Amino acid sequence: MSKLTLNAQHRCFGGSVSYYQHSSSACNAPMRFSVFLPPQANISPVPVLYFLSGLTCSEDNFTVKSGVQREAAELGIAIIAPDTSPRQTGIPEEDTDYDLGSGAGFYVDATQSPWQAHYQMYSYVVEELPQLIETEFPVIAGRRGIFGHSMGGHGALICALRNPHHYLSVSAFAPIAALKQCVWGRKALGHYLGSDQTLWNAYDATELVKQKTWLDKPILIDQGTEDQFLRQQQLLPDRFAEACETVGQSLTLRYQDGYDHSYFFVASFIRDHLQHHAQFLQ
């Protein structure tokens, strides 16, 4: 990994929000992320919580719109928000569709040409980025949680379910909870992983929860009832809930009346999610 490049920095709630870029070995491309360090990090290392954003988003959307910094500053938790894909890799199809390529990495490790050369977002999020953060910033090694929104909610769930000893907590806002069963997922998985659908199970939260890897810890999900993608059968939280009930996985799935898929929804319940993670991170 090359040296970090600081692109911008802002004072925020006694701490700081910073934007960085570095050369990713996993993605073989430049990658960007934001970091919120609470004021407590000036005294001693703090726990860290990773947020994965949704389709078309970058590291900036959540950082600017969620209001996460106020609660994170009070609780003494660092917040890391990576970009959702590599950018400008030269892949011809990369910028053709909003749900494939740029802004749509789906947090998988692609195995199919031409995507496999750069689209290794699962390895980036689970392995490379935490190693970088724990080397370069005042955070406590191994004291990690993960959450996300929409495509990023899917990402958070699969990362936690596949790595129960890597993360201490997980939650999601309106996640794509059964990736192989929705239109978005079938398109992305077909392009990134190929036609063998047995390989898709490794990136489907509803399939992964059946492996009973997370049974000793709860999962929190918030879902708006007026979410257009819920109506379009892209999110399928009920399928995930059924799988959790079957295996005895503790799940709090809250349907929030009148809320949609936007960051207004995320900001409305961000405090609850930070407090959920603080139970395990502090």
Candidate list 261, 273, 276, 277, residue with the active-site label: 261
Tokens 């794509």 correspond to 176
Enumerate the β-bridge partners of residue 19: 8, 34
Contact 102, 70 (CB under 8 A): no
Structure tokens, 55: 């389709």
Q: Is the peptide bond before 114 cis (omega within 30 degrees of 0)?
A: yes
Enumerate the β-bridge partners of residue 173: 149, 222
The whole-number pLDDT of residue 2 equals 53
- Number of Cβ atoms within 10 Å of the Cβ of 9: 12
Residues of the chain with pLDDT under 50: 1
- Which H or E run includes 70? helix 68-75
Candidate list 83, 109, 222, 227, residue with the active-site label: 227
Dist. CA 12–CA 41, nearest whole Å:
13
Candidate list 150, 154, 171, 276, residue with the active-site label: 150
CA torsion sign for 219, 233, 156, 161 is: positive
Q: Which residues contact 245 (CB under 8 A, 6 or more apart)?
A: 251
- Number of Cβ atoms within 10 Å of the Cβ of 248: 8
Contact 169, 277 (CB under 8 A): yes
The whole-number pLDDT of residue 1 equals 43
| 261: annotated active-site residue | yes
The whole-number pLDDT of residue 3 equals 86
What stretches of 95-236 show up as alpha helix (H) in DSSP? 121-123, 129-136, 151-162, 183-193, 205-208, 228-231
Quick check: pTM over 0.95?
Answer: yes
Determine the 3-state secondary structure of 78 from DSSP.
strand
What are residue 4's phi and psi, to 5 degrees? -65, 140
Determine the 3-state secondary structure of 96 from DSSP.
coil
Domain annotation for the chain: domains and CATH numbers? 4-281 (3.40.50.1820)
